[in-house]
A and B are shown apart, each in its own frame.
Chain A
Amino acid sequence: MCLSVPAQIISLDGEIAEVSIGGTIFKAGIQMIENPAIGEYVLLHAGFAIQRISEDEANITLNIIHEMQSKINHKK
């Protein structure tokens, strides 16, 4: 129930979008997304797009973890 899945908007028609998850197409209500655009990634949950996903923030998160490798220091 809690799970939401990243999906890419591939078409828009009023309040309903078609979104792609790995090539499989689903319909999604986009009433919760302001100014949705084709190509954007959103989280799909129970038939609705509930939030945009930021590729920039995703990259920042991954880089933070990569950078930890150089700072690994066991506490005594």
Chain B
Amino acid sequence: MRFVDEFRNKELVYILIEKLKGFSNRTYTYMEVCGGHTMAIHRFGLPSLLPKNFKLISGPGCPVCVTSKSFIDKAIAYSQNHDFVITTFGDLIRVPGTSSTLEMEKEKGADVRIVFSSLDALEIAKLEPKKTIVFLGIGFETTAPGTAIAVQTAYRMKLSNFFLLSAHKVMPPAMESIINAKTQLDGFICPGHVSTITGSTIYDFIAKKYGIGCVVTGFEPTDLLQAIYMLTLQVENSLPLVEIQYKRAVTEKGNSLAQKILNEVFYLDDDWWRGLGIIPKSGLKLNQTYSKYDIERKYPIKISQSENDDGCICGDILRGQLTPYDCRLFASICNPNNPIGACMVSTEGACQTYFRYKKNG
């Protein structure tokens, strides 16, 4: 088994579509909160396969899209120091800050390097002891443990030139803020890979407190369609639950080893989400033991705060209240070659996804 092709089987897709056609009494609206799901849904053409009474909306699931402008501005400010090496995942380098991007700074001579893993940044720190290596930690619970491991390794090796600028975030508070923003939805398609780490119980409060069902979902077309079927059964039976569709990778308890690593290195603090504002206890920051690896603590910087984007409606799109088609900049001034907002930069952002797969509607 290869765990990919089998879940793209056309026959299974058609079986699930036929099952969904059996639900025709009302409209069902489900939100996904994972950039990987945004991309998979549109890449596999699911909106055109689904019966018309099923509506899928994108939420704040793209970690690049919700990274604040001030984070980019700070990274850019650090990159101005010629003794600093900024190491980052590739999808961050074109995200606009207030007036520049890391890519533009690299073109002007800043030492900005794309890495595949936090361990690559650590390796650079070991090989270049005279440089100050700053790793830009972005991503949700899927990615944060890898950053935590890099910090733990730096601590163990007594590395003095490796630092973290963290924009890591956790998903459930953002899901709650979507509900509180009164976005109309009947269920959540929950992030499959976040949940491999956290387990499915992190969504229990959504079903219990808000009566909205959650299904933890994989990334292939049959996964997504099966999850939509499971959510629809919940709605039809008025029984909001937390269920796991992605059972080959997700359990209720999750990866306890990864959770232990996370809890040892990070604590939860209030954090700014682009488009959503401040969400309490949603950002992962280095705790006391590892705080010396926080670049802002070692080299504090001041930047002017500006989170406004002229004409950009990424915030409304991230809340699921508007789509890219509602944006007057979409596919004209704002496109992948000239992104105005983060949602157009990231391959998992709703705007770039729409541009690539359904530009003309």
Contact = CB atoms under 8 A, between A and B. Distances in A.
Interface in B169-186: none
B15 A1 contact: no
B62 A69 contact: no
Interface residues of B, number: 60
Query: Residue among B21, B143, B219, B261 with the most chain A CB within 10 A?
Result: B143
Interface stretch (B22-30, B74-82, B275-283): B22-30
A47 B35 CA distance: 19
Interface string A38-70: 000101011110111111011111101110110
A42 to B, nearest CB: 9
7 contacts: A2-B35, A2-B142, A45-B146, A46-B116, A47-B119, A53-B3, A61-B245
B36 A65 contact: no
Contacts of A52: 249
A12 to B, nearest CB: 16
Contacts of B18: 72
Interface in B37-82: 37, 61-64
B141 to A, nearest CB: 10
Interface residues of A, number: 38
Contact of A29 (B143, B149, B222): B149
A19 to B, nearest CB: 13
A21 to B, nearest CB: 10
A74 B61 CA distance: 34
Interface string B193-225: 110110000000000000000000001001100
Contacts of A1: 35-36, 62-64, 89, 91, 138-139, 142-143, 346, 348
A54 B248 CA distance: 5
B284 interface: no
Nearest to B61: A2
B127 to A, nearest CB: 16
B226 A50 contact: no
B348 A2 contact: yes
Secondary structure class of chain A's binding surface, majority of residues: mixed
A65 B247 contact: no
Given A1-B62, A1-B89, A2-B61, A47 B245 contact: no
A69 B19 CA distance: 8
Nearest to A34: B257
B21 A50 contact: no
A46 B148 CA distance: 13
B84 interface: no
B258 A50 contact: yes
B170 to A, nearest CB: 14
B11 to A, nearest CB: 8
Interface in B82-134: 89, 91, 116-120
Contact of B15 (A34, A61, A69): A69
Contacts of A72: 15, 18-19, 22
B12 interface: yes
Contact of B6 (A34, A62, A69, A74): A62
A48 B15 contact: no
B137 to A, nearest CB: 10
Given A1-B35, A46-B116, A53-B3, 16 more contacts: A1-B89, A2-B62, A2-B194, A29-B146, A29-B149, A31-B261, A32-B255, A34-B257, A46-B117, A46-B139, A47-B118, A50-B146, A50-B197, A61-B7, A65-B15, A68-B19
A74 B22 contact: yes
Contacts of A69: 15
Contacts of B140: 2
A72 to B, nearest CB: 5
